[in-house]
Amino acid sequence: MFDRMDGFKPKNCMSGYDFELWVQGILTTLKFDTRRTKGNDNGVDIIATLDERGECLKFYIQCKFHNRPVGKAPVQEIYTGCNYFGNDGYPVVITNNRMSSETRAYAKQLGVEVITEYELNEFSLLFKTGKLINETHTGLMGIIIGKMANRIDLFEKAVKVYNKEPIKIEEASDKEELKIELINTFDQANLLLQESAELQMRANACQQQAMSLQKEAILRNLNCL
């Protein structure tokens, strides 16, 4: 199901089952140890582990192949599923479609990583041209980019997020609370900018499709004259 010539785009997927196999294929190609849960998965489709450069990480992944934007339900499901399987890994939702900034913020609050159509396009561009759009990704997204680009620095930066000690709000000073509030504000702004970029990407794709249909209509009209 995973064809490297696809440029990391799930263009041959026809169902959720196909999309699961496609995601598993990418991770396996990048040297993750993967298995599909099948059956009663409690929201978890793929369990992927990576033992590399002194890091041993486990990811619980839910794959969503939708023809519309993904809402909060998959985020809730993978959060619960991760706990069901022992909460010894990190929950991730991977979808071929997009998520709103509100859903992304909700996922971040729960500690769920999301990889959407927008990020998959980053993979595709990196695969085809070697061009990196964003070097600030952490988590599974950052790990995949680091491995694809053969950049050890990006890989190491991506895994650092799992070693951070969270600041306890009740023990934080006024200065730390202000810092947290500012970080949250900037994060929300970044999520909105990302949503805007995703919508612009879709608008460009629709415009190209419309131009193609117009061209086809003109040629048909000429043939009828």
Residue 89 belongs to domain with CATH number: 3.40.1350.10
**95 and 151 assigned to the same domain:** yes
Check whether residue 130 and residue 217 sit in a common domain. no
Length of the chain, in residues:
225
User: Are 28 and 68 found together in one domain?
Assistant: yes
The answer on 176 and 96 residing in a single domain is no
- Boundaries of domain holding 214: 166-225
Q: Which of these three, 164, 180, 208, is where a domain ends? A: 164
Q: Could you tell me if 190 and 146 lie in one domain? A: no
Query: Do 28 and 96 fall within a single domain?
Result: yes
209 confidence band (pLDDT: 50, 70, 90): confident
**Which of 164, 184, 207 is the endpoint of a domain?**
164
Q: What is the DSSP letter of 137?
A: -
Mean residue pLDDT of the chain comes to: 82
Residues 191 and 159 in one domain: no
Q: Do 171 and 147 share a structural domain?
A: no
- pLDDT recorded at residue 123: 87
Instruction: Please indicate, yes or no, whether residues 121 and 148 belong to a single structural domain of this protein.
Output: yes
My answer on whether 112 and 180 are in the same domain is no
DSSP string, 64-132: E--SS-B-SHHHHHHHHHHHHTTS-SEEEEEESS-B-HHHHHHHHHHT-EEE-HHHHHHHHHHHHH---
| Residue 129 clears pLDDT 90, i.e. is over it | no
What's the whole-number mean pLDDT along residues 184-195? 58
Mean pLDDT to the nearest integer, 146-170: 80
- What are the b/e assignments for 77-111, b being 16+ CB within 10 Å? bbbebbeebeeebbbbbbbbbbbbbebbebbbeee
Does residue 196 share a domain with residue 140? no
Q: How many helices and strands, by DSSP H and E, does the chain display?
A: 7, 5
pTM of the model: 0.73
pLDDT of residue 95: 94
For residue 53, what pLDDT is reported? Answer: 84
Q: pLDDT digits over 69-111, tens only?
A: 899 999 999 999 999 999 999 999 999 998 888 899 899 999 9
Q: What domain count does the chain have? A: 2
d(CA 26, CA 3): 9
Are 130 and 30 in a shared domain?
yes
pLDDT at 146: 94
Per-residue pLDDT tens digits for 165-183: 544 445 556 666 555 455 5
